[in-house]
Each structure stands twice: as structure tokens, then as C-alpha cells.
Amino acid sequence: MTVTITDVQTILTQPDNSRLIIVKVTTSEPGLYGLGCATFTQRFHAVHAAIEKHIKPFVLGRDVSRIEAIWQMAMVHGYWRNGPVLNNAISGIDMALWDIKGKQAGMPLYQLLGGKCREGAAVYVHTDGRDPQEVEDRVRQVMAEGYRFIRVQMGGYGGQGAAMVKPEGAPDGAYFDPRDYARSMLKMIEHMRITFGEEVELLHDVHERLHPIHAIQFAKDVEPFKLFFLEDILAPEDIKWFEQLRRQCSTPIAMGELFNHPREWQPLISGRLIDFIRMHVSQMGGITPARNVAAFANMYNIRTAWHGPGDTSPVGHAANLHLDLWAPSFGIQEWCRFPELVYEMFPGLPEVRDGYMYPNDQPGLGIDIDERLAAKYPCQDAVEWWTQARLPDGSPARP
Ligand code: MG
């Protein structure tokens, strides 16, 4: 008998810093439901409305087995497509349907994708500090916890150290100086490589903080320090510059957390212009498109490094893990080390031991949510501060 979607529930919760959006799809089979991540933390009300008012009425009554068909139709049903709000809303349904299919099959999701290529997914974690010494101390701490891949940042996304001279009447904001950023990060990365030798893999996220030609200079400057990858060296709006970058240095490049349209990643993969794709899986529309892109990238020997900070929900992290275990072209997984409360709220949240993330081998995504506990931590409304980035003269900049 056909199993159909009987309800879609949007669960908003904020157990830690990020506002999380979890979608629960219930079915006509008693006790059978699935969970999906639809987390766009800065615009959670918009995603909530998109699910409740548009996507839910569209999917109610549909056959849960038709994941691909539902995804394809959901993407064009609004005619205008490929945006962060609707992609996340569609992801909530898509992941939940994969979760349901796994539960029906009695198999973990990685089995449905083609089975494991590896037993655990190697992860990288973040370190930060006010100066190179503090960053070094943090790196030592996480190395002692077993991590071998470590993202090194200084002062958040950096560039605040300069004695900035602002014009009179400059507005408030999260100011940074791109030139100071490039100088101070280069020194910090050099310090890490000299201090730790070759024993640790270092990663760094530029967060699109440089003008394109300075970004190319920076990628060349850090080349001798053999980063595992350099992330978001250019903005999605500047992807044509990757051709120039590639001709000038061999620093490995990771890109993609801001992508939401296939035209953004297609030319970078087919042109062999990047080395790691690191989309935010819910932001690109869920497991269905992520699986396709991982297979496409594999044909070019480009590896995966799915976005996995605190604003990827635990359900999203579980989806990342299943993709990681299967993907022939897996590279690395970003990991945010959730506090204990999040483990309590999301039973089955993947565990990390000695630098590897492991599944629990339950059917589907293998993760659940304690809805009563989630309700005790409602999302807080706030006008985001860190994304109000400004250059030293006060002009708005990409955060
Ligand atoms: Mg990033």
C-alpha cells in the first residue's frame, strides 16, 4: 500500500547559538516519520513561512517513495527557483523523505546511496585566538583531543587589529581592514607551520574578505605553508577570477557554502578550478542535489567538504555524515563540537572519536529530536550584528 505524507511540522529551536529549523514529515504508516534540516539561521521566519504556507500544502498526500520526483517538482513549483529560503524549505522535506526511505528499508542512509567507502569521516575543527600565540595554544588543545585537521583563524574572520581611521560620522558596524587581514593572517599561518611542522593539516577561511587581486596574492603568499585548503578565497559573485588564481598557484581551494544555484558550481567543477566543494547541504536543497554534485565532482577528482558549523543542525550533520561515508570523492568534514544539551535534544547525533565521525547504524539518518526539550529553547529574534560588516571608511562589505 502506498505510504503518503500526512503532516509536515516545522520545529524551531535554539539550544546553542544558532536558530535551528527542523522539519518533521509524518506519514500514513503509524509511527513512521522522517526528519530534515531546513536551517537558514539568519532568516528562519522566512523559511518557516515557506514551509508552512507553500511547501506543506504542496506535499501533503504525496507518495513518500517518490523523493526524486517530489524534489524536481518542488524546485519548479514556484516557477522562480534556486534561492536560500526555498532551497532550505525543500531540503527539510527531502532529507525527511530519505530518512523515511531508510527506515522503510531498515538500512542506514549510506546503504541507500551505495554503501560505505570508509568506516568514519575525518573531521576538521575550528580554532581561534587574538594573536598567533593564542591560536597556537588552541591548536595544541584540539590536537591533544585527537584532531589532525584544524582550521586556524585569528580574531574571528580577522582584520580588526589595525588602528583603523574611520571618517567622521562613521556608522556602527563590524569593521575590518582587508589589508591588515592579509598581513596578519599570513604571519599567523607561517607561525603555525613553523611551530607544528608537517604533523598537522592546517585550513583557513578567508570568508571573501579580500578584493580579487589581493585574494590571488594571498593564495600565492600562503602556498609555501601547504594548507589542506584555503576556503572562500573569492565570493560567489567573483567566480570568474578562479581562472586567474589557478594559473598562479597551487594552494588547494575550497568553495561553496554560499552557493544555491547549479550555475555557481558547474563551471568551477568542470573547469577544475577548485579542489573541494563545500556546499551547505540544506541551502542547496538537500541530500538529492548533494548526492548528484558529489557524483559530478568525483568525475573530476574534486572532493567533498560539506559545510558543518553550528548553523548546520544536528539533522544536517547526520545527512553530511551519510554522504561522507558513501562519497567516493570524500575529502573532509567540518565539525562544530556541539555542547551536551544538543546531544540530549537530538538523540543519535553522530559522535566523533579521535578525529573521525561515526554513524550509529540506525535506519535512515539515525537521528531523532526530543520535541519537548526543543520547545524549552525557542528561537530568539535578533538583528544579526556580525553580518553588518564594514570597510574602514564605513562602506558596507561582505561579512
Ligand atoms: Mg566558511
Q: How far is the CA of 280 from the centre of ligand 1 (A)?
A: 10
Q: Are residues 160 and 102 in the same domain?
A: no
Q: Are residues 70 and 210 in the same domain?
A: no
Q: Are residues 23 and 151 in the same domain?
A: no
Query: To which residue does cell 526524486 refer?
Result: 68
Nearest to 324 by CA among 361, 274, 290, 288: 290
Q: Are residues 76 and 135 in the same domain?
A: no
d(CA 227, CA 325): 24
Q: What is the pLDDT of residue 160?
A: 87
Q: How far is the CA of 368 from the centre of ligand 1 (A)?
A: 27
Q: How far is the CA of 259 from the centre of ligand 1 (A)?
A: 12
In a domain, 21, yes or no: yes
Contact present, 124 and 201 (Cβ < 8 Å)? yes
Write down which residue in 85, 106, 127 finishes a domain: 106
Tell me the backbone φ, ψ of residue 44, rounded to 5 degrees: -65, -30
Range of the domain at 68: 5-106
In a domain, 374, yes or no: no
Q: Are residues 248 and 230 in the same domain?
A: yes
Write down which residue in 90, 106, 122 finishes a domain: 106
- DSSP assignments along 313-371, one per residue: -HHHHHHHHHHHHH-TTB--EE-----HHHHHHSTTPPEEETTEEE----SBT-----H
Write down which residue in 40, 73, 106 finishes a domain: 106
Residue at 70: amino acid letter: I
Q: What is the pLDDT of residue 199?
A: 85
Return the active site residues.
Answer: 157, 207
Residue 372, CA distances (Å) to 71, 112, 199, 369, 377 in order: 30, 31, 45, 9, 9
Q: Tell which phi-psi region holds residue 69, choosing left (phi > 0), alpha (psi between -120 and 50) or beta.
A: alpha
Q: Are residues 214 and 232 in the same domain?
A: yes
Q: How far is the CA of 257 from the centre of ligand 1 (A)?
A: 6
Q: How many domains does the chain have?
A: 2
Q: Are residues 324 and 210 in the same domain?
A: yes
In a domain, 395, yes or no: no
pLDDT by position in tens, the chain (length 399): 899 999 999 999 999 999 999 999 999 999 999 999 999 999 999 999 999 999 999 999 999 999 999 999 999 999 999 999 999 999 999 999 999 999 999 999 999 999 999 999 999 999 999 999 999 999 999 999 999 999 999 998 999 877 899 999 999 999 999 999 999 999 999 999 999 999 899 999 999 999 999 999 999 999 999 999 999 999 999 999 999 999 999 999 999 999 999 999 999 999 999 999 999 999 999 999 999 999 999 999 999 999 999 999 999 999 999 999 999 999 999 999 999 999 999 999 999 999 999 999 999 999 999 999 999 999 999 999 999 999 999 999 999
Nearest to 283 by CA among 268, 303, 261: 261
Q: How far is the CA of 360 from the centre of ligand 1 (A)?
A: 27
Cα of first residue to Cα of last residue in the chain, in angstroms, is 51
In a domain, 132, yes or no: yes
In a domain, 339, yes or no: yes
Contact present, 365 and 319 (Cβ < 8 Å)? yes
d(CA 59, CA 72): 12
Domain CATH number, residue 37:
3.30.390.10
CA atoms within 13 A on the CB side of 266: 4
Number of residues written out for the chain: 399
Q: What is the pLDDT of residue 304?
A: 98
Domain CATH number, residue 155:
3.20.20.120
Q: How far is the CA of 236 from the centre of ligand 1 (A)?
A: 12
In a domain, 311, yes or no: yes
Contact present, 256 and 265 (Cβ < 8 Å)? yes
Q: Are residues 293 and 335 in the same domain?
A: yes
Q: How far is the CA of 231 from the centre of ligand 1 (A)?
A: 6
Residue at 283: amino acid letter: Q
Q: Are residues 83 and 120 in the same domain?
A: no
The predicted model scores a pTM of 0.97
Q: Are residues 328 and 255 in the same domain?
A: yes
In a domain, 387, yes or no: no
Q: How far is the CA of 208 from the centre of ligand 1 (A)?
A: 9
Exposed, middle or buried by CB within 10 Å (0-12, 13-18, 19+), for 192? Answer: buried
Q: Are residues 165 and 222 in the same domain?
A: yes
Q: Are residues 128 and 190 in the same domain?
A: yes
Q: How far is the CA of 61 from the centre of ligand 1 (A)?
A: 38
| Ordered alpha helix ranges (H), the chain | 44-49, 56-59, 67-77, 84-105, 109-113, 132-144, 178-196, 212-221, 242-248, 262-270, 287-298, 314-326, 340-345, 371-375
d(CA 297, CA 182): 30
In a domain, 153, yes or no: yes
